[in-house]
């Protein structure tokens, strides 16, 4: 396993270390586990396409690009609203 040095604010490092410790992990183990659970933009796009294909096969749902953009905008609005609470 290769080591890597990263520079992050001290507060972020301390927070991550505290989260790792609460889960009984070293910071190194926690970051490795976190990296395994996150998706790359390409992986997210692939999963979104698979979901669209499944919905289309299941019930014929096939939004246009414009409809998808409108839905994305609405989701962003709702997420921003939820964060503000």
Residue 83's pLDDT is 92
Q: What is the pLDDT along the chain (85 residues), one digit of tens a residue?
A: 788 899 999 999 999 999 999 999 999 999 999 999 999 999 999 999 999 999 999 999 898 999 989 999 999 999 999 998 7
Q: What is the pLDDT of residue 70?
A: 95
**What confidence score (pLDDT) does residue 85 get?**
75
Q: How many residues does the chain have?
A: 85
CB 56 within 8 A of CB 62: yes
Residues contacting 39, CB < 8 A, separation 6+: 47
User: Cα–Cα–Cα angle for 54, 60, 61, nearest 5°?
Assistant: 75
- What per-residue confidence (pLDDT) applies to 7? 94
Burial of 25 (C-beta count, 10 Å sphere; 0-12/13-18/19+): middle
């Amino acid at each position: 396993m290769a080591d890597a040095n990263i520079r992050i604010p001290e507060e972020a490092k301390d927070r991550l270390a505290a989260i790792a410790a609460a889960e009984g992990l070293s910071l190194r183990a926690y970051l490795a586990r976190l990296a395994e659970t996150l998706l790359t933009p390409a992986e997210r796009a692939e999963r979104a396409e698979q979901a669209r294909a499944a919905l289309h096969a299941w019930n014929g749902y096939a939004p246009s690009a414009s409809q998808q953009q409108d839905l994305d905008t609405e989701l962003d609005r709702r997420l921003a609203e939820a964060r503000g609470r």
